[in-house]
Amino acid sequence: MSILSFFNNLLGVKKETQEEIMKKFLVVGLGNIGEKYDNTRHNIGFKIADALVKEYDESFTTEKHGDLVKLKIKGKTVFVLKPNTYMNLSGKAVLYWMKKENILIDNILIITDDLNIDFGTIRIKAKGSAGGHNGLKDIQDKLNTSVYPRFRFGVGSDYRKGGQVDFVLGTWSNEEESALIERIPTSIKAVESFVNAGLANTMNTFNGK
């Protein structure tokens, strides 16, 4: 027995098997903290994360670098995280919780807004560029790779030239609010599919919907 194993046994620290590690996931909704950002397009990651947690009758607690909750989804352990580091520093929270909970990079899912996709459309990918999104850029920098699963929720591009920032930090229109009533439950199903059916099946089922 190694010294590390000896002390782990002494302290009651359970060594995880590969099978146990494979059953752990980290779902991260991106957004900015603060009331003024609550209902903005840029905070769709928070909105989907909130809806997912509510679906399982759980609630977030404030932990290091964000609000966190642990869910059980069909035998899988799913940590849902809303970073409190602000959008542009999201990678710090993602990396911290990946390391702390020993979660594989293939088992993380980053939920974010996307200006280049029609409103309400889902696009899930295994890798890709940050596409000008500062939250994804910081995650890529902190993880030192662009190969990690991401869930892009289209917010559209109905803004005048130069009005990108105001648009993403703006609140949903009444028409969008009505459409979100249907789009949010679909997004929850997509997250559950990622956990239960895997990335490839989820992309085939939900992309473009």
Is residue 42 part of the annotated active site? The answer reads yes
Instruction: Determine whether the annotation assigns residue 37 to a binding site.
Output: yes
Residues in CB range of 116: below 8 A, 6 or more apart:
131, 154, 157
Instruction: Determine whether the annotation assigns residue 86 to a binding site.
Output: yes
| Of 24, 41, 42, 133, catalytic | 42
Extract the tokens encoding 37. Answer: 């950002």
Give φ, ψ of 202 to 5 degrees.
-65, -40
Instruction: Determine whether the annotation assigns residue 134 to a binding site.
Output: yes
Instruction: Determine whether the annotation assigns residue 159 to a binding site.
Output: no
How far apart CA 138 and CA 142 sit, in angstroms, is 6
Collapsing DSSP to helix, strand or coil, 142 comes out as: helix
* CB crowding 95-132: b at 16 or more within 10 Å, else e: bbbbeebebeeebbbbbbbbbebebbbbbbeeeeebee
Task: Report the candidate in 197, 29, 1, 17 with the shortest Cα–Cα distance to residue 102.
Answer: 17
Give me the active site residues, please. Answer: 42
Annotated binding site for tRNA: 37, 86, 88, 134
Residue positions forming the annotated binding site: 37, 86, 88, 134
